[in-house]
Amino acid sequence: MKYAIVGTGSRHQMFRSAVAETYAAENDLVGLCDLNGHRLALSAAAVPDPGGNGIATYRAGEFPRMLSEQKPDTVIVTVPDDLHHEYMVEAMRAGCDVITEKPMTVDLGKLKAILDAQAETGRRVTVTFNYRYTPARTQIKDLLMSGAIGKVTAIDFRWHLDRVHGADYFRRWHRHKDRSGGLLVHKSTHHFDLVNWWLGSTPETVTAHGARHMYRPETGDAMGLVPRGPRCHVCPSASACQFRMDLETDEKLRTMYLEAEEEDGYLRDACVFDPEISIEDTMQVHARYRSGALLNYTLTAYSPWEGLDITFQGTEGELTHRHVEVHGVFGGQREKAEGRESMRTVLHRAGEAPEVLDVWQGEGDHGGADPVMLGYLFDPAVEPDRYGRGSTHVDGAWSILTGIAANASIERGQAVGVDGLLAEHGIVLPC
Q: Quick: pLDDT tens for 387-398.
A: 999 999 999 999
In tens, the pLDDT along 308-367 reads 999 999 999 999 999 999 999 876 788 988 777 899 999 999 999 999 999 999 888 888
Same-domain status, 202 and 321? yes
Same-domain status, 161 and 310? yes
**Burial of 219 (C-beta count, 10 Å sphere; 0-12/13-18/19+):** middle
- DSSP letter string, 355-396: EEE------SHHHHHHHHHHHHHH-TTPPP-TT-----HHHH
Same-domain status, 297 and 415? yes
**Alpha-carbon separation of residue 197 from 50, 383, 395 (angstroms):** 38, 20, 9
Kind of pairing between the strands at 294-303 and 97-100: unpaired
Q: Is 271 part of a structural domain of the chain?
A: no
In this model, does residue 119 exceed pLDDT 90? yes
Same-domain status, 314 and 420? yes
Rounded to whole angstroms, the Cα distance separating 306 from 156 reads 17
Same-domain status, 195 and 64? no
Contacts of 8 (CB under 8 A, 6+ apart): 32, 33, 34, 36, 39, 40, 42, 43, 78
Q: Which residues pair with 324 in a beta bridge?
A: 307
Domain boundary among 104, 126, 148: 126
Pair 255, 273: CB distance under 8 Å? no
Kind of pairing between the strands at 97-100 and 74-77: parallel
Rounded to whole angstroms, the Cα distance separating 396 from 126 reads 8
Rounded to whole angstroms, the Cα distance separating 317 from 310 reads 14
Same-domain status, 170 and 221? no
Give, for 403, the enclosing helix (H) or strand (E): helix 393-412
- Kindly report the CATH number assigned to the domain that includes residue 51: 3.40.50.720
Residue 338: what pLDDT?
78
Mean pLDDT over each residue of the chain, to the nearest integer: 96
Rounded to whole angstroms, the Cα distance separating 269 from 170 reads 9
In this model, does residue 243 exceed pLDDT 80? yes
Same-domain status, 196 and 235? no
Domain containing 182 equals 131-214+278-424
Number of domains in the chain: 3
Identify which has the larger pLDDT, 16 or 365.
16
Residue 293: what pLDDT?
98
- Omega of the bond leading into 103 within 30 degrees of 0 (cis): yes
**Burial of 421 (C-beta count, 10 Å sphere; 0-12/13-18/19+):** middle
Sign of the Cα torsion 230, 235, 241, 244 reads: positive
Q: Is 162 part of a structural domain of the chain?
A: yes
Pair 186, 231: CB distance under 8 Å? no
Same-domain status, 149 and 138? yes
Rounded to whole angstroms, the Cα distance separating 53 from 139 reads 46
Q: Is 270 part of a structural domain of the chain?
A: no
Same-domain status, 164 and 232? no
Residue 117: what pLDDT?
98
Same-domain status, 257 and 380? no
Same-domain status, 171 and 201? yes
- DSSP letter string, 93-136: HTT-EEEEPSSS-SSHHHHHHHHHHHHHH---EEE--GGGGSHH
- Kindly report the CATH number assigned to the domain that includes residue 399: 3.30.360.10
In tens, the pLDDT along 399-427 reads 999 999 999 999 999 999 999 999 999 99
Domain boundary among 66, 99, 126: 126
In tens, the pLDDT along 134-166 reads 999 999 999 999 999 999 999 999 999 999 999
Residue 49: what pLDDT?
77
Q: Is 273 part of a structural domain of the chain?
A: no
Same-domain status, 208 and 335? yes
